[in-house]
Amino acid sequence: MCKLFLLPQIHGMIMAQGMKGGLGQKMEYLSFSRLSLLETCGLRFYYEYVEKATPTDHVVTYHASFGKVIHSLYEEHGNTQGRASYDALKMRYDDTFVPIVEEFPTREDAVAFYKKGLQAISRFSQYQVDDVIDSEKEFLIDIATGVPPMKGFIDRVLHVPTYGYVVADLKTGKPFSQQDLKKTRQIVLYSLACQDLYGEPAKEGYFDFVVQGGRVWLRVDEQDRLALKSWIIEKWKQILREEFQPKYTKNFCRSFCPFRSRCPEYERRQTV
Ligand code: SF4
């Protein structure tokens, strides 16, 4: 087994040693969330996906659990061509929400999120979904020789015979803008996946902010898909170069990093 160890910071960068030649095997696939994490904090990515370390610190999980519950109801609504009514969805929501209640910091937080969920169900249960052809559609697509394939799931694929394919991603968090490239790449990736799955790329896609309401639409062309491929290749090269720079963000590190107690950057920030 490859023995990994970390040197202290070198020019602001944490360098991992002992991985040469093994990374291709370690990383069977890439995904949008993995590469986003690499951009958010390289060292956290390293701990999780290269070293595959066992998490040691408590993290906040209720946002993710709430998102999973709503995703599954959204999927059910699409898969039943809208036959799953608000009442039926609410009944299932009540059942699936109970097990996650203990993850919320307080009872008030749980109640606030429960109400947000009802708002979301009330909104999407009224959608016309005749054009939905797939929900939670899995993909595994090749990007370039020597780069692990990209894996993921498209929340919703729509096909309009007179127009073509449209992809959608459900968001339960705060809305963001069309200009937020870090986030909107996800729709471009889905367009690419659509080409692989159905022989035709999605011409456009949208983020569906079901809690707050509103959609952010994006048109996607060949240039966007090529730019996305270049970005993925560049991220893979960064991984091969073993550049896993820590990026400290107070709230993210404290609430969402399960490796903070072993992170030199986190330790340093607690003492300054
Ligand atoms: S504590 Fe923060 S800086 Fe350190 S690995 Fe985790 S996310 Fe990165």
Determine whether the shortest distance from the Cβ of 44 to ligand 1 is under 6 A. Answer: yes
Element spanning 219, H or E? strand 215-219
What is the whole-number distance in angstroms between the Cα of residue 43 and the centre of ligand 1? 6
Helices (H) and strands (E) in the chain, counts: 10, 8
Q: Which atom of ligand 1 is nearest to the CA of 260?
A: 1
Give the residues across from 138 on adjacent strands: 153
Of 159, 140, 182, which Cα lies nearest the Cα of 33?
182
DSSP string, 205-216: EEEEETTT--EE
pLDDT by residue for the chain (272 residues), tens only, comes to: 333 334 334 333 444 444 445 666 678 999 999 999 999 999 999 999 999 999 999 999 999 999 999 999 999 999 888 888 999 999 999 999 999 999 999 999 999 999 999 999 999 999 988 899 999 999 999 999 999 999 999 999 999 999 999 999 999 999 999 899 889 999 999 999 999 999 999 999 999 999 999 999 999 999 999 999 999 999 999 999 999 999 999 999 999 999 999 999 999 999 86
CATH of 132-233, one of 2.60.40.10, 3.40.50.970, 3.90.320.10, 3.30.70.940: 3.90.320.10
Q: Please give the distance of CA 190 from its chain centroid, rounded to a whole number.
A: 12
Domain ranges for the chain: 5-56+242-271, 62-124, 132-233
CB-CB neighbours of 164 under 10 Å = 15
